[in-house]
Amino acid sequence: MIRMINMPMPKADILVVDDNEMNVRVLEALLVSRGHDVRVARDGEEALEQIDKKHPDLVLLDVMMPKIDGFQVLENVRSNRETELIPIILLTALSDIDSNVKGIELGADDFITKPFNKSLLMARVRNLLRGKNLLDELESVDAVIAMTAKIIEAKDKYTEGHVERVTTYAVKLGEAAGLEEWDLRNLKRGALLHDLGKIAVPDAVLNKEGKLSEEEWKHILLHPSIGADILQDLKSLKAVVDIVLHHHEKLDGSGYPDKLKGDEITKESRIMAIADIYDALTTTRSYKKSMSPETAIRILQEEAQAGKLDSELVMLFSRLVKDGIFDAISE
């Protein structure tokens, strides 16, 4: 005998979309009894208006409706960057395989055939809301990362805007290099946090006018290791640690801190190296004036020819610069 475990369900804002009044009443009563806030739309047009007005945590969407059917609503929601991740359960009287496949292909998270089983429906609602909560937590992590990056950057008056620029360069290059969405997310996080270790570098060193002494450089050389150590125990940022630790490594082993060579360096860390160097070259620092993008690209190409940087990635980055992808970015 299977024992049902009554797990707590997070309170949510749920939009019920159905033109059948009886279905609406049943669903509304069921969801309200579980503590949820329920909104109702009785056709596809009203559903889209409600979603645009306030993004719900979950949508229960009937397929067969007047004006705009559920498939069209689903397609519209998934094509909008701001609403594409809203969980959607299709409620349908259609039992044929083709309709189910169409719903999945359009991006439905789940579907229930009417008349629906209440226990099964609520179990699926519970699971999707847990996933939504996890996604919201990840977005909260990104907000904290962005704030942390600004705090670190504020320590160094010569690198204002550096983190945002490097993040833009790295993500665009990652996209051009064909990184998957999850890898791009980690690359973005790594770019935002790549200088985290500078929080332990004395302000006098970071803001010194002119070149650094050998002793002062030792502080700078430690910042990747310090940043990685800070992040090491954070499970949600485990994939970011390597990027923070190795963004100064070179393919020929001349980088730091671990003097990695070739395939020992991940693609994400190679991308970060190019983005970081390009920004350093094209911005004014205490010890140098800024270079033109053309000069910076030439230096990157020379580094690639010398076996220090990934030549394919440098070629892709050069193309992005030439195509004006970064023209709107100013120092």
Where in the sequence numbering do the catalytic residues fall? Answer: 198
Q: Which of 158, 173, 182 is nearest to 290 (CA)?
A: 158
E-only strand ranges, 71-224: 88-92, 110-113
Determine the angle formed by the axes of helices 214-221 and 223-231, rounding to 10 degrees. 30
Q: Which of 261, 259, 231, 260 is nearest to 244 (CA)?
A: 231
DSSP code per residue over 182-242? HHHHHHHHHHHHTTGGGGGS-HHHHT-SSPPPHHHHHHHHTHHHHHHHHHTT-GGGGGGHH
Which secondary-structure segment (H or E) carries 38?
strand 37-41
DSSP state at residue 64: S
Residues 6 or more apart whose CB falls under 8 angstroms from that of 303 comprise: 277, 309, 314
Q: CA-to-CA distance for 184 and 170, rounded, in angstroms?
A: 9
Residue pair 290/296 in contact by the 8 Å Cβ criterion: no
Which secondary-structure segment (H or E) carries 67?
none
Q: CA-to-CA distance for 143 and 141, rounded, in angstroms?
A: 5
Token digits of residue 167: 């993040």
**What is the separation, in whole angstroms, between the first and last Cα of the chain?**
67
Q: CA-to-CA distance for 13 and 247, rounded, in angstroms?
A: 42
Token digits of residue 85: 């991740």
